[in-house]
Amino acid sequence: MKMKPRLEHANLSVRNVDTMVKFLLTAFPEFELRHDARDAEDERWVHVGTEETYIALYQATAEVEPSRTPYGGQPGVNHLGYEVENVEALRARLWDAGYRDSSVPNEHPHRRRVYFVDPEGNDWEFVEYTSENPRERNDYSLPS
């Protein structure tokens, strides 16, 4: 059987590893701190996730000038998207922990989405599908 491609991990350089770990563990209670180490230059890097997928966080050593804003027209990642089982439970966890969403209206009969900005200014999309039918899940002719 041929394996389908999947995102195994993403690697982000961040200003504050600990605040990002807190954000990820709040968003994904099933995640755990898989690894926490320092490299040969004594710069910290961690892996947060499951046995199958994770986010690598690397301690940034320099500031980006000028700072990039997602969707600001500059090259770069606008958001990372994760499928979740219950988007409203995720929203409640993040709100209760003090995070605020950046959601845009998205009315679709087969998916619910919320967006949150992490402490580093990165935008994250969380989507819950309400259909198992790929045509319905991926229907872009309907309002999203």
pLDDT in tens, 101-136: 988 878 889 999 999 999 988 899 999 999 999 999
Domains of the chain: 9-67+79-137 (3.10.180.10)
pTM summary value: 0.87
Q: Which of 53, 51, 59 is nearest to 14 (CA)?
A: 59
pLDDT in tens, 59-115: 988 876 667 777 888 777 888 999 999 999 999 999 999 998 988 878 889 999 999
45 and 58 in contact (C-beta within 8 Å)? yes
115 and 103 in contact (C-beta within 8 Å)? yes
Can you read off the two tokens belonging to residue 110? 């087969």
- Which pairs from 29-33 meet CB under 8 Å and 24+ separation? 29/93
